[in-house]
Amino acid sequence: MVKGSRHKARRAAIQALYQWQLTEQDPGDIENHFIREHGMEKVDVAYFHELVRDIPLHLHELDDHITPHLDRPLNEVDPVERAILRLGTYELEFHPEIPCKVILNEAVELAKTFGAEHGHKYVNAILDKVAARLRASEIGGLSPAP
């Protein structure tokens, strides 16, 4: 695997998931178009594929983990931040081999890159709460993020 390729897979997946949320197109069609139209060298394409296909499949479950921690209805959360929250929650739940700190750091970086000016703080706060529930045994020794 190429160094950074999972990071690049997450970046591409956020863009594809954003498009899916706005257009409600079939995730497979969006994925195929994205792979054709964007440089996917140095990207973990298998991981990109998993994220784009599996997040919509687990949408209700992921949203159920996120919603209790929101200060507004999920459909009112910025679409980019909503996609990042879903991706981070997916990784927290389905990828226990990825350390919690890595997932949270990646989500914050994605929010800084693609989200609103202070969106990374919101994403961090929500995912901290989701992680406290899904990864309680792992984060017992972590201090809360600022």
Whole-number pLDDT of residue 92: 97
What is the pTM (predicted TM-score) of this model?
Answer: 0.89
CB burial class (10 A; 0-12, 13-18, 19+) of residue 7?
A: middle
Euclidean distance between CA atoms 134 and 72, whole angstroms: 21
* Residue 9: CB atoms within 10 Å: 22
Span 24-62, pLDDT tens digits: 888 888 888 888 887 787 889 899 999 999 999 999 999
Span 102-133, pLDDT tens digits: 999 999 999 999 988 889 999 999 999 999 99
Q: Where are the domains of the chain?
A: 5-135
Phi-psi group of 42: left, alpha or beta (phi > 0 → left; psi -120 to 50 → alpha; rest → beta): left
How many residues make up the chain in this entry?
146
Tokens of 3: 């160094």
Cβ atoms of 134 and 65 closer than 8 Å: yes
Whole-number pLDDT of residue 9: 94
Span 63-109, pLDDT tens digits: 999 999 999 999 999 999 999 999 999 999 999 999 999 999 999 99
The CATH number assigned to the domain with range 5-135 reads 1.10.940.10
